[in-house]
Amino acid sequence: MADTILTDASRATGMVKITPRARRVAKEKGLDVKTLNILGTGYQGGISEKDILNYLASNKVRVSPIARRIAKEQGIEIDGITGSGVHGKIMKRDLVSIPVETDTVEAVAATVQTDAQYSPDGKEILEVIPYSGVRRIIGERLSQSKFTSPHLYFTQKVNLEKLLDLRKQINEAQDKKTSVTDYIARACVITLQKYPDMNSTLAGEQIIKYKTINLGIAVAAPSGLIVPVVKNAGKKSLLEISKDSGVLIDKAREGKLSPDEYSGGTFTVSNLGMFGIENFTAIINPPEAGILAVSATKDEPFVETDENGNKTITIKPMMNITLSVDHRIIDGLLAAQVVTEIKRLLENPIELLI
């Protein structure tokens, strides 16, 4: 009967025992069961559908998508080719030595540049970058900070109208230009002098409160995020902080910082305002107790109240600042006082020149 397992006598004439379903799958996959050594596990040693599928899985030819396309366009049989890729995968380079018509090669070469790499689930890979060096150090430190230090966040909205006017006057009077970050840095220094508990670290069983203020300025460098440190910032004026931080930031972007220039910080400022970021929270740079995230300055409606209590709506340059603190060291009241004092100083920038 045509739809039953073939008999032993059939094998003598070049036939094998195989179920109808297995025969159909083999035909669909282009397999000639007469010439292939497929072990049958079905009734009387017959080949079942499962045997066909197992054979396909164990003898699957691994081919990169580009190599498969070249083989199809050039009519190359890939079954007998030994691949040079991972796990014997056939790559484009494995086909270049196979003689084909010149015009076909040129046509394919015009559209194919390199073999693409794919993830196990089929996504094309653009680049594989080792997770090492500075990137790994940054990742490990920030992971330690985020999962060891309970972060608490406090945000204030700052009116920068007076500060921007003052900055314009100062920059017009000298060659060296000051940045908004310089004023924010100076405001942080004055605030840390007023609230020294914020200028502290947790070391084992001790909270160490520092008199020296070493202010870190987060910078995006080619090797990754790095925080050059303005040492003894508490003893420096606005213009001195501006000069020192400018030198450090340039060196950071050129990859020329020495280890001493990016270590020993007691508080950090991270400013993403130049990228138009309206609000964000920063991860504390361990072992420091806090970090200030500075967002972009945007024109926004602002309610002003005159001396008679009359309210008017005007447009002012506004900026969000968010203080992240390590709640193991800093309580909510102190954090609120610190971020509010920074806001007050930025809105009364003349105090930053003292």
Chain segment 240-263, per-residue pLDDT in tens: 999 999 999 999 888 888 889 989
pLDDT in tens, 197-237: 999 998 888 999 999 999 999 988 777 788 999 999 999 99
Q: Give the per-residue pLDDT at 35.
A: 64
The CATH number of residue 195's host domain is 3.30.559.10
**What's the pTM value of the predicted model, to 2 decimals?**
0.66
Give yes or no: residues 77 and 41 share one domain. no
Mean pLDDT over 16-29 rounds to 80
Q: 287: cis peptide before it, omega within 30°?
A: yes
What is the Cα–Cα distance from 306 to 279, expressed in whole angstroms?
Answer: 29
Give yes or no: residues 148 and 291 share one domain. yes
What one-character-per-residue DSSP string does 269-334 give?
Answer: EEE-GGGT---------TTBSEEEEEEEEEEEEEEEE-TTS-EEEEEEEEEEEEEEEETTT--HHH
- Give the residue numbers annotated as catalytic, written as ranges: 327
Mean pLDDT over 328-350 rounds to 97
Q: Give the per-residue pLDDT at 133.
A: 75
Q: Which domain holds residue 86?
A: 65-124
pLDDT in tens, 126-163: 888 888 877 787 788 888 898 899 999 999 999 999 99
Give yes or no: residues 32 and 108 share one domain. no
Q: How many structural domains is the chain composed of?
A: 3
pLDDT in tens, 79-117: 656 666 655 667 766 665 555 444 444 444 444 445 678
What's 352's DSSP letter? G
Continuous H helices in the chain: 8-11, 20-28, 49-58, 65-74, 102-111, 133-148, 161-172, 180-194, 238-253, 332-347
Q: Give the per-residue pLDDT at 101.
A: 46
> Which of the pair, 16 or 310, is modelled with greater confidence?
310
Residue 219: both structure tokens together = 């910078």
Q: Is 179 inside a domain boundary?
A: yes
Q: Is 259 inside a domain boundary?
A: yes
